Chain A
């Protein structure tokens, strides 16, 4: 009853205004993303980084050089447009004929590099971005809105309108739409599709940069770490508005802003992203074409089997595998605890990557929310063992919990395909992290779980550096062996059949949801064990221990090794864990090299090092 009365007495007007203000920022971000998705059928993860580039170019012009605002806007549009075009030329065009997952990963690599360049050039500390903007404010409801709020909203609407006119009223716009529909046909009609793509990325980049500048002015603060959050919100907005629907992106942004704001009014700010991601999931499940779509225009993305690159996997010769295992077993004898620890970390990554390569590679559900499974396993075991359960049992229960809860959570997403699975799982991952943060009674909220007992099995202590290394190695090899066996059985063939053509598999009487569930269950168990062991190794975990970045890292490993490829997943894990360690001497240039290594690997080996299995 109290809730109902607060619902009625809530100052809806004030919340709606604050929702529209933040919503127009999301809209501005979403317009560029929708444009790129429309043409390249790609979620540009580097769009947030372009946003940040725009903010810092704006700072350089306004504060560093003292230029007027008008000149600054032109400079920001030019530079960030150039960066956008450069992204297309460097990271997207060479991957034109590859699966969609390759350019997706390339944009992540580019985003890492751009963010790091900003860090190095401008230092990572947030800066003020003051400007001489008219200082009048209009009272609306009990609050006020100012000139900059209106500027942001107007820029979003005008740019969307201009883009709409460009796409549907000009010849180049027609070429863009033709390329989006069928690039081969467009090419045959004499459209220079490379030029078209570059133009689109340039326009989107310019818009993203201007968004960065305006948002920086609005908050009087620019921050090189804001880019990823901004990109995520823009992505939710385009899912609401319809992935490739440019005017729809405006509506999507505003709706997202309103729902967040109303949600905060009802429940508080700690739940903000929860509303955003639940909304995203609901949209994906019930209106995947966006709320502005008329009927079912593009029911599902026609990309069965094309999301993952098909190649012949490289099978490592058996003797080589045994030699490698032998080397791994005797490695701790070298008495280099640092190397041993890095490899233990790598094998824990490897366990998680094995799980991911099964669902993403073998079954074809590309997941960016894998950290959720690991987190569930870690929390289950940590909470139970701190209450007295033996560690060995905790680890098994952690695996089982991840398998059950993970499969139940992912079940609704089984009917999604391609990008939609990736976005949906990303949302799931964020939702799990936010539930862990906010469910204080069970998870201890922001304080995390402390004093988790160290690794041991039936009283045998395993927390020494060498002992835990061997334990984790054995776990990883055991699970890898099991996975190889499963893949060779009828189960493996069924999974691959579902990946290649779900409709055909269903026609042959394969209940695809059942088999997808089995895959998720097995993968959840493996990932849950990885999480549980990690928790006992660290003795302290909190909601941020397994975050979105971790999910992205695991996906990177699986793709680098070759999606679906068991030995590839392990190789990818070792590379991703070891590369940043090897670049350690580069200090602040480290992530720059890591991003570059990622882009180059994807560029020359999009099917993964060992080929997808």
Chain B
């Protein structure tokens, strides 16, 4: 019954829905004239272990998407459901889960895993097994290169970083930039692409400082950054690192403009406190976007979970909606989904005004970013100089 396992704090509404779904599935086995069998998505992701927070955010997005999809008739009358297998973001477990999903005929498509280490270890199995591996957090440039069953709607950094660099150099006027980046595949790739684009625009990179993922203390690194005399600071960080850096930066008396690539989560504002004010960031997902689809999502999310959606929840929500759309249009067979992903176009999502994939790279084409500033405990869209 792992399928219907929920977080400990279960809302009454969610419980009712789960109970109903459980009854539906049980009934489906018992009677021939009962509702048709659900279509299953297999999710491989961290429920326990050091990355469990991300798995929890995924689930919120998935559940919200399913409620809406199934209220609108599911996939041609069949309800959509998912099986969430805990991988702890451990490659040894993702390959076992891959075998499980590939061998299980009811799984139509796989989603996950979280990091490139754990996802890419399973890619050869999914490729040989002919099951689409849809990685929505996988920014590693090689993720989709294992084969034609690997797809990702994660924004390719090669497209995003030039947009960021333009904003940082032209709008924010940074000319001597110090870059601090998380020393992972995502951080390193993003940093390289950003510095190349910023240099092309005429800015000078005066410092590049890598740091490790479990770092909490940045004071010494910031002394290095300060002595490089930058006029602006670029952070390629997750929101919790970014919050720590920004606080310690202001404590050291550094007043430079800061652009923090990963500071686009509501938690950043809370963790950074006062020091967060005036920090610039950019988001693929902009919760204040006037598009009705975004506003519906944000309202539904807040009503269900009592907090604003994070980037990961929005990605998760989008991913299920996208897969549902593909299955409705092109069928629920494993190869139907692979082919459908290459053909679908013009689909609106909460992150992208229009989703389509480049069939060669199997990644999203032409993403856009929304530029934001943190102000008074929230985000406001960037609106020109003077902020």
| Residue ranges of A at the interface with B (Cβ–Cβ < 8 Å) | 11, 14-15, 17-19, 21-22, 25, 116, 119-120, 123-128, 130, 137, 139, 142-144, 146, 215, 219-221, 223, 225-226, 229, 260-261, 264-265, 268-270, 272-273, 336-338, 340-342, 345, 437, 445-448, 450-451, 454, 463, 465, 537-542, 544-545, 577, 580-581, 584-585, 587-588, 590-591
* Chain B positions within 8 Å of A463 at CB level: 124, 128
* Chain A positions within 8 Å of B5 at CB level: 587
A142 to B253, Cβ gap below 8 A?
yes
A272 to B240, Cβ gap below 8 A?
no
Cα-based distance from A229 to B48 in the complex (angstroms): 18
**Stretch of B19-27, B167-175, B220-228, B326-334 contacting A (4+ beta carbons < 8 Å):** B220-228
B50 to A542, Cβ gap below 8 A?
no
**Stretch of B85-93, B157-165, B281-289, B346-354 contacting A (4+ beta carbons < 8 Å):** B85-93
A221 to B96, Cβ gap below 8 A?
no
Q: Give 1 or 0 for each of B29-57: 1 = CB within 8 Å of chain A CB.
A: 00000000000000000011111110011
B21, chain A: closest CB distance, angstroms? 17
* Chain B positions within 8 Å of A261 at CB level: 219-220
- Closest residue of chain B to A19, judged by CB? B220
Interface residues of B in 137-163 (CB under 8 A from A): 140-142, 145-146
* Chain A positions within 8 Å of B166 at CB level: none
Cα-based distance from A537 to B183 in the complex (angstroms): 25
A338 to B96, Cβ gap below 8 A?
yes
* A-B contact sample (4 more), CB < 8 A, given A270-B212, A537-B95: A120-B8, A130-B273, A337-B103, A446-B188
- Of the A-B pairs whose beta carbons lie under 8 Å apart in the complex, a sample of 11, sorted by A's number, is A11-B227, A21-B217, A143-B223, A220-B271, A223-B240, A225-B214, A269-B215, A341-B99, A437-B183, A447-B140, A587-B47
Cα-based distance from A146 to B226 in the complex (angstroms): 19
* Chain B positions within 8 Å of A143 at CB level: 219, 223, 251-253
Work out how many contacts link A and B, with CB atoms closer than 8 A: 210
4 tightest A-B contacts by CB?
A: A18-B219, A538-B121, A540-B120, A124-B53
Cα-based distance from A365 to B260 in the complex (angstroms): 46
B174, chain A: closest CB distance, angstroms? 21
- Closest residue of chain A to B275, judged by CB? A220
* Chain A positions within 8 Å of B253 at CB level: 139, 142-144
* Chain A positions within 8 Å of B256 at CB level: none
Known A130-B273, A270-B210, A590-B48; judge A219-B244 contact (CB<8 A). yes
Cα-based distance from A264 to B217 in the complex (angstroms): 11
Cα-based distance from A498 to B102 in the complex (angstroms): 50
Interface centre among B120, B209, B223, B272 (most CB of A within 10 A): B223
Cα-based distance from A128 to B102 in the complex (angstroms): 41
**Interface majority SS (helix, strand, loop, mixed), chain A:** helix
| Residue ranges of B at the interface with A (Cβ–Cβ < 8 Å) | 1-2, 5, 7-8, 47-53, 56-57, 84-86, 88, 91-93, 95-96, 98-100, 102-103, 116-117, 120-121, 123-124, 128, 140-142, 145-146, 183-185, 187-189, 209-212, 214-224, 226-227, 240, 243-244, 247, 251-253, 267, 270-273
A63, chain B: closest CB distance, angstroms? 11
B120 to A450, Cβ gap below 8 A?
yes
A370, chain B: closest CB distance, angstroms? 15
Known A124-B52, A225-B50, A539-B123; judge A22-B219 contact (CB<8 A). yes
* Chain A positions within 8 Å of B116 at CB level: 448, 540, 542
A18 to B102, Cβ gap below 8 A?
no
